[in-house]
Amino acid sequence: MPDAFRAEVTVSCVVPTHGRDDMLSDAIASIAAQTLTPFELVVADDLGSPSTRATVLGWAGRVPFPVRYVDASGSGWSSAGASRNAGAQHVSGDLVAFLDDDDLWEPDFLEQLTGALGVDGDFAVGWTDAESVGPYRIARIVPGLRVQDVVARNPGFVGSNFLMRREAFNRIGGFDPSLTVSNDKDLLVRALLDGMRYAVVSKVVVRNRIHDGPQLTDKTERRVRGIESYIAKHDALLSEQDRRYLRSQILSIRRQTGPTRTARSRSTAALARDRARLQLVEAVRR
């Protein structure tokens, strides 16, 4: 059944991009190298850059599937979720998979996830690893998670490591374009609230590249505002422990970005208290 399913299903790929043409070309190359040929590729450019358009159209004719450039600079939102949605509006495959312009798929990404999805699943998720050794640790999702398991701590669901039935993606409204961070986790929460079933590919199928350019994980006030927006959106689902965990993320940023030494010191002290409480609760649970 999985082989027959893979032979019949069509997979559309969407790449949101933001002024990283060299990395974008590498990301597209990883799509072109897939053992399961995509149905189509749409690149959504939130800057509307002529050089990005040229990079994308340069791949047309070099790959055995259609390649389309979409100018997403007029979406009204400045978020990865908005760019992903802009690209997804132009696809027609049975399934849709997203790849950030600074990530890479392993050659069997589409084949593995499509096979795991099968005829009954709504979405499938694979594991992600950082390209270089360092302080970056990406969680590895497991089967059977519930909303309360994922609403605070991302279990390893990111913009580049899942594929979903296009009908299901559209049914829940795609990504929330108002969230500048945690829009991937928010999509997972809403998918589980919708009752969607998911499968896991327990192997690394995505490489997350660490680089010097801007990234969503950068510690900035913009990220703080994004976390605060996420907390406000899902307040009814959050336990006190969840709120403390999310607050500790904000404090971790502000201990570096606070406007004064006193402000940074206060954030550091509050972070230490929250982390101690989190560790105590986790120790009791064990």
pLDDT at 1: 41
User: Based on the domain organization, do 261 and 201 belong to the same domain?
Assistant: no
User: Based on the domain organization, do 145 and 251 belong to the same domain?
Assistant: no
- Enumerate the β-bridge partners of residue 14: 42, 98
CA distance 170 to 187: 11
What are 100's two structure tokens?
């950030």
Does residue 141 belong to any structural domain of this protein? Answer: yes
User: Mind spelling out the 3-state secondary structure of 227-249?
Assistant: HHHHHHHCHHHCCHHHHHHHHHH
Domain that holds residue 273: 239-285
pLDDT at 274: 64
Domain count, the chain: 2
Q: pLDDT for 38-49, tens place per residue?
A: 999 999 999 999
Does residue 229 belong to any structural domain of this protein? Answer: no
User: Based on the domain organization, do 22 and 122 belong to the same domain?
Assistant: yes
Looking up tokens 């593995």, which residue turns up? 112
Domain boundary among 169, 186, 208: 208
User: Based on the domain organization, do 137 and 263 belong to the same domain?
Assistant: no
Which residue numbers in the chain have pLDDT < 50?
Answer: 1
Distances (CA, A) of 46 to 8, 43, 58, 215: 33, 10, 19, 15
User: Based on the domain organization, do 48 and 176 belong to the same domain?
Assistant: yes
